Amino acid sequence: MSALKAKHQRLVLGLIALLALVGAGLLAAYALRNQADYFYLPGQMLADPPRPDRDVRLGGMVEEGSLATQPDGVTLAFVVTDKDRARVPVRFSGIVPDLFVEGSGVVAEGRLRSDGVFEASNLLAKHDENYIPRELEDMTKAQAEQIVAETRAADPGT
């Protein structure tokens, strides 16, 4: 190592560290723009559907009367709806969270298939009285009830 270089070793080390960290920061910023999972309400999802290869979250209320178990016993089909009555059909294979019932709030993680069905890989429901998935917090209980009521009114057959 040359004398000049040795003299500035601390400076060089500092620069290398700084460079690596800035690089990490830029990489993180780039990756976050592309890899973060965006949250959609049913209306947003219908208006501006995400690409089929992107993981996203869909949040809303489980429509009354829409919940049906497929013959295999482990695949569920239901419809997630919001206060503007936009409806997104959802498929989920697995064991549902304990508080998952018709009329309850839900956040589904998964992808929107190109045929318009949301393929959920995981469901987050209300865990207990004190915890609400943060995306659903804006929907107060009253709003939720209103959605349910409106859904009923719109679909008297159920």
Partner 1 sequence: MIAEIGLASLWLAAVLALLQLAGGVLAFRTDGTGGENPMGMFIRPAAIVQAFFAACSFVALLYVFAVTDLSVKLVAANSHSAKPMIFKLAGSWGNHEGSMLLWVTVMAFSGALIAALERRLPERMMQATLAAQGFVALGFYAFLLFSSNPFERLEVPAPEGMGLNPLLQDIGLALHPPVLYFGYVGLSVAFSFAVGALLTRQVTPEFARVSRPWVLAAWVCLTMGITAGSYWAYYELGWGGWWFWDPVENASLMPWLAATALLHSISVLAARDALRAWTILLGVIAFSMSMLGTFLVRSGILTSVHAFAVDPERGMFILVLLGIYIGGALLLFGLRAGAVAEGERFAATSREGALVVNNVLLSATLGIVLLGTLYPLLTEAFDVRVSVGPNYFNPVSAIFVLPMLVVMAIGPLLRWRRDRLERVMKPLALLTVIGAVVLAIVALVADIAFLPLVGLALAAILAVASFIPLRRRKLTRVPLATWGMVVAHFGIAVALFGMASESAFSSERLAALEVGETAQAGPWRVTLNGVDPVAGPNWTALEGRLAVRAEDASRTSEPIMMAPQSRTFWAPVQQTTESALATRWNGQLYAVLGNQLDDGRWQLRLWWKPFVTFIWYGGLLIAFGGVLSIIGRVRKDLTRRSVRSRLASRRADERALEAAA
Annotated binding site for heme: 127, 131
Burial of 153 (0-12, 13-18, 19+ CB in 10 A): exposed
Which amino acid is located at 107 in the chain? V
Of 6 and 153, the one with the shorter C-beta distance to partner 1 is 6
**21, β-bridge pairs:** none
Distances (CA, A) of 106 to 2, 7, 136, 148: 64, 61, 8, 13
For partner 1, what does the binding mask look like between residues 1 and 20, x meaning CB under 8 A? x----x--xx--x--xx--x
Q: Is 74 in the site for partner 1 (CB under 8 A)?
A: yes
Tokens coding 112: 């929107």
- In angstroms, give the least distance from the CB of 140 to partner 1: 12
Q: Phi first, then psi: give them for residue 75, nearest 5 degrees.
A: -105, 130
- 112 with 50: CB under 8 angstroms? yes
- Options 68-76, 83-91, 110-118, 146-154: segment touching partner 1 (CB under 8 A): 68-76
Q: Which one among 2, 51, 128, 142 touches partner 1, defined by CB under 8 A?
A: 128
Give residues with Cβ within 8 angstroms of 55, minimum separation 6: 37, 109, 110, 111
For partner 1, what does the binding mask look like between residues 81 and 120, x meaning CB under 8 A? ------------xxxx-xx---------------------
- In angstroms, give the least distance from the CB of 79 to partner 1: 19
Please report, as ranges, the residues that interact with partner 1 according to CB under 8 A.
1, 6, 9-10, 13, 16-17, 20-21, 23-25, 27-29, 31-32, 35-39, 55, 57, 69, 72-74, 93-96, 98-99, 122, 127-129, 131, 134-135, 137
